[in-house]
């Protein structure tokens, strides 16, 4: 009964308040100047073909309360929506064909009621995703995609609170279609195993985060996923100039990659060295400087432990199953090859710290370790480089400075050179 009333309220609300907004949005649709401008911007971003296949979501709203919610998305062209449920933690995930999220009033889609958190962004080159973290189990009570007029589509999704047993049954029933892990099947962007060139060494750089997972946000609104990609590109150039190195980036664009995909990429490239690049935040805003992390079952300290926990949760952020990312480090470290690899990782970490010396500001105790899922390849020496902290205003400035970036890249290339020179002996 309560729900009936709510539906009525939603319905009236939809007719009433959003209509003022809808009237405005006619202006912002695909056929309007604003809509064309959005599409032009995407095209001028480089890829005309991608732009034509990308739907633009220009309006999103979330209505409702702790019993039921309604999600409304308006787009300029047709998109696929495939919602599914996930547990641990409770989520409703909507897989979509490639969509550019350009919400003109993003505050209208902020979390409320059953929805505790809401994220949207790209998943892979061809896919996008909306992830809602939920306070309670839900079921989809209605779903619809309507064409309202030429160049205007409205997607509506209604969620209703249910009990846990029913929710778990839903998950069981959807396994045939979605797969337990919630992984998106990626199309056509799988690279074949690379053949290594004789006398060359392969380095994989891993720009942290991407797509729906933005990573940390700086005091001055710098977004970690953008910084890590920009810095990885500079590093790649510096490394290629410094030695017989073939350098690959796990991602060259702003899309999401799971920890597993990052590891698979590294294995496929038969990498000799793996460097994951991050610029996270800390609670203590005065703490700054670079640090190098290596893999270990036991964490060196609380800070490293917390950092590894958040990193390992990045898959959950993007709506993948958490279990793959967690509790997997322990067994691997018993492996003999892994123990050997670990020694090399530690040696490389120390070399970076030595070379950075007084030139690149370092955190106190700059070599730390913890159970990072992304570092667990048993055959590839791997480090996670925190170049600075976006929670510190001075670090944030440095991380954006071309001068600092180039200096850091030169030093890191030197450390890589030392590492391989020593390894051969």
Residues in contact with Zn ion by CB under 5 A are 208, 215, 278, 280
| Cβ pair 120, 317 in contact under 8 A | no
Least spacing, CB of residue 216 vs Zn ion, in Å? 6
**Closer CB to Zn ion, 160 or 213, in the complex:** 213
Which CB, 400 or 410, lies closer to Zn ion?
A: 400
Q: How far is it, in rounded angstroms, from Cα 383 to Cα 27? A: 50
- Residue closer to Zn ion (CB basis): 208 or 373: 208
Q: Between the CA of residue 21 and those of 5, 13, 104, 105, 405, what are the distances in Å?
A: 23, 12, 11, 10, 44
Q: How far is the CB of 207 from Zn ion (least distance, A)?
A: 10
Report the 10 Å Cβ neighbour count for 332: 18
Q: Whole-number minimum distance, CB 365 to Zn ion, in Å?
A: 19
Residue 89: is the preceding peptide bond cis (ω within 30°)? yes
**Tokens at residue 284, please?**
């203590």
Residue with the two structure tokens 């703490």 = 287
CB–CB of 104/167 below 8 Å?
Answer: no
The minimum distance between CB 274 and Zn ion, in angstroms, equals: 15
Of the pair 216, 346, the CB lying nearest Zn ion is at: 216
Minimal distance, residue 353 CB to Zn ion, in Å: 19
CB of 115 to Zn ion, least distance (A): 25
- Minimum gap (Å) between residue 328 Cβ and Zn ion: 19
Residues 6 or more apart whose Cβ sits within 8 Å of residue 261: 250
**Parallel/antiparallel/unpaired status of strands 115-124 and 99-101:** unpaired
Quote the CA–CA distance of 402 and 280 in Å, as a whole number: 19
Sign for the pseudo-dihedral over CA of 132, 138, 139, 145: negative
Give least dist CB 307 to Zn ion, A.
8
- 259 token code pair: 């920890």
DSSP assignments along 145-214, one per residue: EEEEETTEEEEEEEEEE--HHHHHHHHHHHHHHH-TT-PPPP-S-PPPPPPPPTT-EEEEEEE--BTTB-
Q: Tell me the residue nearest to Zn ion as measured from the CB.
A: 278
At closest approach, how far in Å is the CB of 213 from Zn ion?
9
User: Closest distance between Zn ion and the C-beta of residue 210, in Å?
Assistant: 10
Smaller CB distance to Zn ion: residue 217 or 401? 217
For Zn ion, the closer CB: 280 or 396: 280
How many CA atoms does the CB half-sphere of 377 hold within 13 Å?
Answer: 28
CA dist., res. 400 & res. 231, Å (int): 9
Q: Using CA atoms, how far apart are residues 281 and 217, in angstroms rounded to an integer? A: 8
8-state DSSP, 376 = -
- Select 113 or 207, whichever has its Cβ closest to Zn ion: 207
Q: Kindly tell me which of 74 and 280 has the beta carbon lying closer to Zn ion.
A: 280
Q: Which of 325, 327, 301, 300 is nearest to 315 (CA)?
A: 325
Output 208 or 366, the one with its CB closest to Zn ion: 208
Q: And the tokens for 79?
A: 């998109």
User: CB-wise, 138 or 316, nearer to Zn ion?
Assistant: 316
Q: Which residue, 245 or 372, is less far from Zn ion as judged by CB?
A: 372
**Whether the Cβ atoms of residue 295 and residue 333 lie closer than 8 Å to each other:** yes
We find the least distance from the C-beta atom of residue 415 to Zn ion, in angstroms, to be 21
């Amino acid at each position: 009964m309560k729900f009936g009333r709510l539906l009525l309220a939603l319905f009236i609300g939809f007719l009433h308040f959003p209509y003022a907004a809808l009237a405005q949005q006619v202006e912002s649709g695909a056929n309007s100047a604003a809509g064309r401008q959005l599409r032009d911007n995407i095209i001028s971003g480089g890829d005309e073909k991608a732009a034509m296949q990308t739907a633009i979501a220009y309006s999103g709203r979330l209505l409702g309360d702790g019993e039921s919610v309604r999600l409304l998305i308006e787009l300029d062209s047709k998109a696929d929506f495939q919602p599914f449920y996930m547990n641990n933690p409770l989520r409703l995930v909507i897989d979509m064909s490639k969509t550019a999220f350009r919400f003109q009033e993003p505050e209208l889609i902020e979390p409320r009621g059953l929805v505790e958190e809401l994220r949207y962004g790209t998943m892979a080159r061809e896919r996008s995703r909306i992830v809602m973290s939920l306070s309670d189990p839900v079921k989809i009570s209605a779903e619809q995609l309507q064409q309202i007029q030429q160049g205007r589509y409205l997607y509506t999704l209604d969620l209703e609170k249910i009990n846990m047993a029913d929710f778990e049954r839903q998950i069981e029933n959807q396994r045939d279609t979605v797969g337990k892990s919630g992984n998106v099947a990626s199309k056509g962007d799988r690279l074949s195993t690379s053949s290594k060139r004789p006398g060359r060494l392969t380095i994989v750089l891993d720009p942290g985060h991407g797509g729906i997972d933005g990573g940390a946000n700086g005091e001055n609104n710098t977004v970690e996923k953008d910084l890590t990609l920009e810095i990885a590109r500079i590093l790649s150039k510096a490394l290629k100039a410094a030695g017989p190195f073939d350098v690959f980036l796990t991602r060259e664009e702003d899309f999401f990659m799971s920890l597993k995909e990052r590891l698979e990429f590294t294995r496929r490239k038969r990498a000799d060295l793996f460097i994951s690049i991050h610029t996270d935040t800390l609670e203590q805003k005065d703490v700054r400087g670079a640090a190098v992390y290596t893999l270990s079952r036991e964490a060196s300290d609380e800070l490293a432990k917390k950092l590894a926990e958040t990193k390992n949760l990045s898959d959950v952020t993007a709506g993948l199953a958490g279990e793959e990312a967690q509790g997997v480090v322990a067994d691997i470290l018993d492996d003999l090859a892994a123990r050997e690899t670990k020694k090399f990782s530690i040696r490389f970490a120390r070399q970076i710290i030595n070379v950075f010396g007084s030139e690149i500001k370092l955190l106190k105790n700059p070599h730390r370790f913890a159970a990072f899922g992304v570092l667990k390849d048993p055959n590839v020496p791997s480090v996670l480089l925190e170049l600075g902290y976006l929670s510190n205003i001075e670090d944030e400035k440095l991380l954006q400075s071309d001068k600092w970036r180039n200096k850091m890249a030169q030093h890191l290339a030197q450390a890589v050179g030392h590492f391989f020179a020593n390894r051969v002996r």
